[in-house]
Structure 1
Amino acid sequence: MFRSMYFEDYVLGASRETLGRTITETDIVMHAGQTGDFYPHHMDAEWCKTQEFKQRIAHGTLIFSIGVGMSAGAINPEAFSYGYDKLRFVKPVFIGDTIRVQITIKEKREYPKRAEYGIVAEQVEVYNQHNQLVLVCEHLLLVKKKSD
């Protein structure tokens, strides 16, 4: 689905929330294979029993990737991702946890390199089933302005 939104159409404080998605062992194994990150924190159930969390934890980059995918909705042909800032893995996510994502328009600012575009900053917050914040970052969008 396509939905054109220009820089001027974004409203500070506007937010949206996704449905949930349960993290599975398959997610963790596939992510390890794709990234080469086979650290025991993610892969060795017996070793993890001797550690603080007593169980395997999902890769932070896995939760980031899934969260970003969950937050992608309608395609806006007037905007594209400019990148992510201030990424933090706040709490571990375990096999069987269900995450959801809340996205809030945090800031709008001029883009100094091209006057016909502006930057829209979205606060991306990933929560688990206990409503605990597990990941936070800022998504920057480069958005075309309306022509006069």
Structure 2
Amino acid sequence: MLSKTAEYALRAVTCLGTRIGQPSSADVLAEQTKVPRRYLNRVLQDLAAAGLVRSRSGPGGGYELAKEPAEITILDVVNAVAPLERINACPLGLKSHTSLCPLHAELDRAYEATQAAFAGVTMQQLLESTNPIVPLREVS
């Protein structure tokens, strides 16, 4: 359901959330998240444009979260790079379908439920999980 770009963005934000006050280079993030560096650069630019990440250049620079992890939801991250698209009109362009057919209405309800679920979970909640597995990234 999620695009590769959204998955990569979630990995990056999760990783940055564990490094508050410690800017991370794209190389470090790429290594820890297992995201190809060139792809990660594009993802980080999209996250920065959405105001979720900021970068500092120079010695001691790198990427860091622009907001507290408690202020960033999964939906914020997904919408920054690859928003979930709701179905508002017949995807087939059928003129007789002035409203959604039963299939597309049901699919749209699923997208709506997914958006609500993603909006209800912050990055802080993921980071504070009692699960021993660190979400979305490799731990060395």
Q: TM-score range by the shorter chain?
A: under 0.3
Q: Which structure's residues are more often helix, by fraction?
A: 2
Per the normalisation by structure 1, the TM-score is 0.23
Structure with the largest fraction of strand: 1
- TM-score of the two chains, using structure 2 as the length reference: 0.24
